[in-house]
Structure 1
Amino acid sequence: MTKPLVAVLSGAGISTDSGIPDYRGPQGLWRRDPEAEKLVTYEYYMGDPEIRRRSWQMRRKNRALSAEPNAAHRAIVDLERSGVPVRVITQNVDGLHQMAGLPARKVLELHGSARSFVCTGCHARGPMEEALARLDAGEDDPPCRECGAILKSATVMFGQRLDPVVLGEALAIAKACQVFIAVGTSLQVQPAAGLAGVAADHGARLVIVNAEPTPYDELADEVVREPIGTALPRLLRELAAAERRPRSEEG
């Protein structure tokens, strides 16, 4: 008997226990400092050297690069290692799912990765640590060493479109999965949020784990408001146990 595919859509809320602030929650970055949004808006970033300098300083202080996976990230890895087919679609750029031990091929990063930089001209890439080392050496807006164009983090900024290949793969997973768990996401940013609706429309059991209400709560089979660090591990343990039960009874 084929095991059901479990899809997990993760947002900023899954990483707050790792010390990474969310963006739209009550204490979110955009609520505390609306000007900060300009630092990750493509038009402002490309057109204003001062915005770029501030953006690089923000990256320098970014706790995401030193953060460690938490219990929620590890619980997804435990589910995958139990033999249940798992795919993670993440809105996060922190790389913590992979650091927790989930194979990179099973993680779709809708908004890219803060762990790398990319050239806006020739598209050369490299580890973010390399670019930050240039800041430490005195450069405040390091240009590409290959072509001299502007560098940015390998994340999707406001005003940039998502990678159509990655989005296409995410849609395919949403349509194919039997269980879709949206965790730590406000489900307000499209097209990522729409994946929850796509999964429900294709018959998946929809579970939403989030501190605040989302636009998709009415579609959900289950809504959990408890802290993610305890709620998600419990949910996934129950899911793994339910998968084992029929086979043990048949045997």
Structure 2
Amino acid sequence: MIAASLQSGVDQLGEFIAEAKVIVPFTGAGISTETGIPDFRSPGGLWTRNRPIPFDEFVASQDARDESWRRRFAMEETFAAAKPGRGHRALASLYRAGKIPAIITQNIDNLHQASGFAAGDVIELHGNTTYARCIGCGTAYDLGWVKTRFEPQQRGPDCSACGEPVKTATISFGQAMPEDEMQRAAELSQHCDLFIAIGSSLVVWPAAGFPVMAKHAGARLVIINNEPTEHDVHADLVIRHDIGQTLGPFVRN
């Protein structure tokens, strides 16, 4: 598949959207970069600056838990300042219009909810960094609770209910994917007529399988990403341009 120019891509995407009855977007970190939140893999991304802390290391090491929380609070101003970008707002417009029943996302920044999606219609494959959860009993905590306990000694807190470690409500490397969310994502992928992958490198499996699943079920597949992906060959339309510029024309107040 040869990538379309920006204008021809926007025009063709508009035709696909007009013709579609059920659209399922699948979003990755690229949709949030214009809001000031860095992605993970590109030069200057989060993983080029800090090695990811695997789940088993978080569980086994207090030092790893402390470092994990130091990194999270170092990013607090960035996450707090971020507002939905043009891509988020365009998808929210299609959601309000009844074209999108729910959205699948690899993102952890809560920006789809902030753009207007109901929380129950945001399928978060990798969790959410705007609150915390006990890895034992699952008790949820707001970040303010964590921060008041972390700051005095720079020590990651334990659950007040069961004593197990508390971590951001995200899915770390080596941690089991959320079964309910994966099942819902699979069902949506198989029952849409337009699947739009936006800002994802499509290399993290099993989540990267959803675009192909949708294509095999008969949906049109659109991929919007600055860099090529291994799924481009399956796509009906590939747009390798800025996501905000590409989706901006679809923002409706």
TM-score, normalisation: structure 2: 0.86
Matched, 1:14 2:31: yes
- Could you tell me which runs of 5 or more consecutive residues in structure 2 were left unpaired when the two chains were aligned: 1-18
Give the 5 Å matches for 1:1-251: 4-30=21-47, 32-33=48-49, 35-38=50-53, 41-62=54-75, 63-234=78-249, 236=250
Note if contact 1:72-1:233 (Cα within 8 Å) is conserved in structure 2.
yes
Larger relative contact order (C-alpha < 8 A, sep ≥ 6)?
2
Alpha-carbon shift at residue 139 of structure 1 (Å): 4.9
Query: One-letter code of the match for 1:22?
Result: D
- The one-character-per-residue Cα deviations of 1:74-119 (angstroms, maximum 9, x if unpaired) are 1111112223234210000111000111111221001111112111
Is the Cα contact below 8 Å between 2:70 and 2:154 reproduced in 1?
A: no
RMSD of aligned residue pairs (Cα, Å): 1.8
Structure 1 CA distance for aligned equivalents of residues 57 and 96 of structure 2: 43
- Where does residue 244 of structure 1 map in the other structure? none
Give distance in 2, aligned partners of 1:79 and 1:138: 47
Q: How many equivalent residue pairs?
A: 232
TM-score by length of 1: 0.87
From the superposition, tell whether residues 65 and 158 of structure 1 become closer, same or farther in structure 2 (CA, over 3 Å).
Answer: farther
Between the aligned partners of 1:70 and 1:132, the Cα distance in structure 2 is: 28
- Residues 8, 86 of structure 1: 8 Å contact kept: no
Aligned partner of residue 193 in structure 1, secondary structure: helix
